[in-house]
């Protein structure tokens, strides 16, 4: 009777021991790079002596997002970076490649910093040329994403702008007026009297070529060009200084764009003012050196060096993009 009980108990104890071993924490040091996979040891209970391998099970590690986002520099980018992390999770599990739309510089920077911490995915940022400001990120498992995907196309918008020069905002407004979302469009590089080169998602090339016929009052034609034919140069800027009582966006913005403070306040109320590509909702938002202020239809402004005067005011360098 005792021997029979022992013969029943031994396999049961063996199974429990093996299960405990299978799901116990790893004894090796944890890699600083986080993985979207959890490694669980799996032993066939029927014949444990013949087991010699590990089973790699796709299991999303809960809580990784909080760890990855903890050091995020631009908190306004959290929602978009989380969405990109979700894309990375799907890419790692399904071993597929996904592409974002064109991202603003803050979101691009924060996303790449976060994606670099992952062991299972590779991320490639492309904007069409080396100095591109707005870029798309391609995300895939490191064994699948082995080359740069073809996710950016270039168009030449040509016309006679000799008598009516058009700004960045004119070209942007004409394109958005066709119903194209801003995130489907990359950089716009002005070509003086000849027009502009633009970057766009490939799937909208044919649509824009067939529908865009005017920028402001100038008739234009659109043709696709290879990326190596892009012509770009550093943006033209104009610097000047202003002395203000505060560093509020309504104060510096009105001085930089040469409009009244009340008018800028109205633009803020309408959602037409952005700081570092994020819409501003408060007139009292404080600016600092390096911030980019954008106003719909008026262009962009960069905050340069800031010094305090003897009277306690602020002498601010303003850099206007032309």
Question: Could you tell me the pTM of the whole model?
Answer: 0.66
Residue 78, classed as helix, strand or coil, is helix
Spatial CB neighbours of 157, under 8 Å, sequence gap ≥ 6: 171, 195, 196, 197, 198, 212, 215, 220, 221, 222
Tokens 């060009």 belong to residue: 225
Q: Which of 22-26, 128-132, 142-146 has the lowest mean pLDDT?
A: 22-26
> Please, are residues 294 and 314 in contact by the beta-carbon 8 Å criterion?
no
Residue 245 — pLDDT band, cuts 50, 70, 90?
very high
Reported as a single tens digit per residue, the pLDDT across 253-299 is 999 999 999 999 999 999 899 998 888 989 999 999 999 999 988 88
- Strands (DSSP E) found in the chain: 38-40, 55-57, 97-99, 121-126, 136-141, 153-159, 185-190, 195-200, 214-215, 218-225, 237-244, 273-275, 278-279, 292-295, 299-308, 314-321
Q: pLDDT tens, 138-166?
A: 999 888 998 899 999 999 999 999 999 99
User: Which residues have C-beta within 8 Å of that of residue 86, sequence separation ≥ 6?
Assistant: none
Question: How remote is the C-alpha of 145 from its chain's centroid?
Answer: 19
pLDDT at 22: 44
Mean pLDDT throughout 88-97?
91
Tokens at 236, concatenated: 């033209």
- Can you tell me the distance from the alpha carbon of 85 to that of 90, in angstroms, rounded to the nearest whole number? 9
Q: What does the DSSP 8-state code read for residue 240?
A: E
Structure tokens at 155: 């168009």
């Amino acid at each position: 009777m005792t021997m029979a009980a022992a013969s029943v108990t031994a396999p049961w104890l063996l199974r429990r021991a093996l299960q405990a071993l299978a799901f116990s924490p790893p004894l090796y040091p944890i890699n600083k790079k986080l993985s979207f996979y959890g490694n669980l040891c799996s032993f066939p209970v029927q014949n444990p002596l013949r087991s010699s391998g590990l089973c790699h099970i796709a299991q999303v590690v809960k809580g990784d997002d909080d760890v990855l986002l903890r050091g995020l520099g631009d908190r306004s980018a959290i929602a978009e970076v989380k969405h990109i992390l979700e894309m990375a999770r799907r890419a790692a599990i399904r071993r597929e490649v996904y592409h974002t739309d064109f991202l603003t510089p803050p979101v691009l920077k924060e996303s790449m910093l976060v994606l670099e911490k992952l062991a299972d995915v590779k991320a490639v940022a492309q904007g069409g040329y080396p100095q591109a400001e707005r870029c798309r990120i391609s995300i895939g498992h490191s064994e699948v994403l082995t080359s740069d995907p073809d996710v950016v196309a270039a168009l030449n918008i040509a016309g006679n702008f000799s008598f009516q020069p058009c700004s960045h905002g004119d070209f942007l407004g004409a394109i958005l007026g066709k119903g194209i979302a801003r995130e489907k469009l990359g950089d716009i590089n002005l070509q003086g009297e000849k027009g502009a080169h633009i970057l766009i998602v490939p799937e909208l090339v044919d649509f824009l070529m067939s529908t865009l016929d005017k920028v402001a009052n100038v008739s234009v034609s659109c043709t696709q060009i290879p990326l190596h034919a892009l012509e770009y140069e550093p943006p033209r800027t104009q610097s000047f200084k202003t002395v203000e009582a505060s560093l509020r966006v309504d104060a510096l913005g009105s001085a930089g764009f040469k409009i009244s403070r009340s008018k800028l306040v109205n633009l803020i109320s309408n959602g037409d003012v952005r700081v570092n590509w994020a819409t501003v909702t408060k007139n009292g938002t404080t600016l600092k050196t390096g911030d980019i202020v954008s106003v719909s239809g008026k262009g962009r402004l960069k905050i340069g060096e800031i010094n305090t005067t003897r009277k306690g005011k602020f002498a601010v360098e303003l850099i206007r993009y032309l």
